[in-house]
Amino acid sequence: MGLAVPTAVMVATGRAAKAGILICGGEAFEKARKVDTVVLDKTGTVTEGKPSVTDADVADDVLARIAAVERMSEHPLAAVVVLYADARSLPRLEATSFETVPGRGASAVVEGRKVAVGNSPFLESLGVATSAGAAQAATFATAGKTPLLSAEDGKLTAVIGVADRIRPTSRDAIARLRKEGLKVILLTGDREATARAIAAQAGIDDVIAGVLPQGKVDVIRRLQAEGRVVAMAGDGINDAPALAQADVGLAMGTGAEITTEAADITLMRADLSAVAAALELSRQTMRIMKQNLFWAFLYNLIGIPVAAAGLLSPVIASAAMALSSVSVVTNSLRLRRVRLP
């Protein structure tokens, strides 16, 4: 009986590692088996996490000032704008008085001008009228692009389109999750139209958009309050609190280190098929554990009374105990042959 659970966990952990899935012990298997809802971050999880500037009808001097602000930001899209500006060999300007609002945008003083870059709500919170760029931003969003707006001294100066393609394996992996009866939700800080466009490409019906990093934790808590067992997959620093809150946190190993530390399962494969594989392996592992316990109990249930009645010789009893251990180990080794997505 002492071998029933640890043997199955050991074999399953090794099988998972061969598939690029690192699992933190038997408790993760137990929790993953009960998952009925999978929440997916967008950037770097459903998408490739390699966004690029696709539309930028903006003067070089304005773009140089935008890049000066973005160079001080840690947001992934900020780095994309900086790379785009550097590719155009624009001068590197100095930014001071830098301020940022996570998930919204950033501002700084560049060449004596107050420059702000971010989404519409961020600029509007600074008193910037964004109506002139609303139509362009909506067009970008409908096409699955993220619109970045910029302003100088309270006036809108540019609307930049940034796009990130979905991973080639995302649609098939999501279809498999849904086929298993799991509810799949796309959770992102992007605006609703952009998120819906990406979700449609990936085959996701449920979308929760415009969510700040702390808001992701609140979404997970709300789903749990509804009685759902939630798995959350993400790769960014902002995803770490939500991964820790989820019943099962799955970190894309290509993302931030803090994300992997907060997760129960780390996916070294940069695609969502590993999420389906991890959940499938957890179900198979728990099934093997139950079978092991059944056989262990059966041997003892039959053997102990017979031995106590003096009807079982020591030699046969020893053989039966050895056979029970061999049965448990052999059954656990079946996990090595489990086919994963």
Report, as residue numbers or ranges, the catalytic residues: 41
Q: Which letter, b or e, does each residue of 71-109 get, where b requires 16 or more Cβ atoms within 10 Å of its Cβ?
A: bbbebbbbebbbebbeeeebeebebeeeebeebbbbbbb
Sign for the CA dihedral angle at 59, 62, 64, 69 comes to negative
Q: Could you give the CA distance from residue 252 to residue 259 in angstroms, rounded to a whole number?
A: 8
Q: Do residues 37 and 60 make contact, with C-beta atoms less than 8 angstroms apart?
A: no
Q: Do the strands 183-187 and 37-41 form a parallel or antiparallel pair, or are they unpaired?
A: parallel
* Tokens describing residue 163: 């796009």
238: left (phi over 0), alpha (psi -120 to 50) or beta: alpha
